[in-house]
Amino acid sequence: MTGAARGGNYRALLTQGTFFKVGVQVSSISAVIPYIADQLGSPGVVVALLAPAFTAGTMLGTVLGPRVLRLTDSVTGLLVGIALTQAALTALVALDIALAPRWLFAYPLLLACMLIGTVTGSSQVVSPMAMSALLSAQQRGDVMLKQAGYSGALVVLITAFTAGRLLPDSPRWHDADLLWISVAAMVVGALCCATLRTPGVELTKGPTRMADTLRQGQAQLRANRWLRRFLITNLMFIPVILTPTFYAIYAAEFLGPSINVDQFLVFVGVGLLIGIPFWRAVRGRFGARGVYLSSALISVAAAGLCIASQQWHAVPALWAFGPAMLLSAVANQALLPAAYDWIFEHADNAEAAVLISCTHIVISLGMIVAGFALGMIAEGAPAVWPLLAMLLLTVVAGIFAAQAPGLQRERSHETARSR
């Protein structure tokens, strides 16, 4: 592929991903939907199950991911199909929250979260394969960081100027209006795929059966020490990934109706924008190991800030949990690009689809258990012990960050691969 074509695809994927991630962020199942469900009086167990239900769907989606790659030879068709399917499911969630009886709405929400997770899981296999086919390795990482950051900036603008003003004067419609914004953003993202240049580009096809995907992944896990280290490290980072959900539920319990979810989204958006230059510098200078270690340290700082606020009441609660959400957003922003760097450093495209799928399955199993446990722990607000538990878990993640490959190793691999 020519440099001009790569440049055009870089811009197209950046625009498409930015709008798609706007939609994902303002309807986030890790933070926004659990907060809304808690505020509308859902049972605590149901709120705690939302993230695990999403993760269970993600696990199924990652198993299906290699087969999804076989549905069509069109990269554009795959990306558009994923975006429009997720938009349709998000619209159903908005209707459920706005119209279903209070005693009923939480249960269809569980099913919808699982279905959205299935689409998300498939996209976690399709998207990196598409980016690797259309972009260079450096462009792939840059696009992923910028998508998150620019979408965060748009989320700040959206929540500041439009949320709560688009729909009828009813509290439940105001809770759902963020979800309609999400639907619109995903549709715009799908339209942006029209400018992709994909002549002659073929995605690596995955196995034809799910059983073959699992069998190949198991064989790779037994044969490769680096893959076992990758898996263990990412399992230890599950609490870091779940920090937005944890703080959203904890804050909803602690603050009650005194704070709006829009305010948290502003902090998240600012954090993602700040994260672009920060993570580009860390990734460029220290490699994946620096990303994982920095992510853990930032998560430790978020937990420490909340603990200090709870113990000494140094700042208003919003200015403790808001910055904690900001730091959590920054901590999560570069983990996925670093994980893909780690995989593509050791595996060619033919193996990568299977490895991404199978490792996501194992990590998703861990997230189902951890998501439910952390959700129930967060319900212990306003006690300080849930925050201490999160602090301990993020410290453990930081210890395991040393297993990630450093920059020198990555450069050596690039040199060897180019020969």
Q: How far apart are CA 37 and CA 54, in angstroms?
A: 14
pTM of the model: 0.77
Kind plus residue range of the DSSP H or E element containing 155: helix 137-161
Residue 84 is which amino acid? L
pLDDT score, position 70: 78
Which of helix, strand or coil describes residue 96? helix
Tokens 């849930």 correspond to 386
Question: Which range has the worst mean pLDDT, 44-48, 297-301, 405-409?
Answer: 405-409
* Cα angle for residues 148, 197, 419 (degrees, 5° grid): 80
What percent of the chain has pLDDT above 70? 85
**Domain extent listing, the chain:** 3-195+207-418
- Phi, psi at 167, each rounded to 5°: -125, 175
The DSSP output letter for 166 is: S
Q: Report pLDDT digits (tens) over 101-150.
A: 777 778 888 899 999 999 988 888 888 888 888 888 778 888 988 888 88
Rounded Cα distance between 400 and 394, Å, is: 10
| The CATH number of domain 3-195+207-418, selected from 1.20.1250.20, 3.30.930.10, 1.20.120.1810, 3.90.1150.10 | 1.20.1250.20
In whole angstroms, give the CA distance from residue 97 to residue 386: 29
Instruction: Give the whole-angstrom CA distance, residue 395 versus residue 384.
Output: 17
Three-state secondary structure call for residue 190: helix
Q: Quote the CA–CA distance of 314 and 382 in Å, as a whole number.
A: 16
What are the pLDDT digits (tens) for 13-70? 999 999 998 898 888 887 678 877 877 777 778 888 888 888 888 888 888 887 887 7
CA distance 210 to 134: 26
Total residues found in the chain within this entry: 419
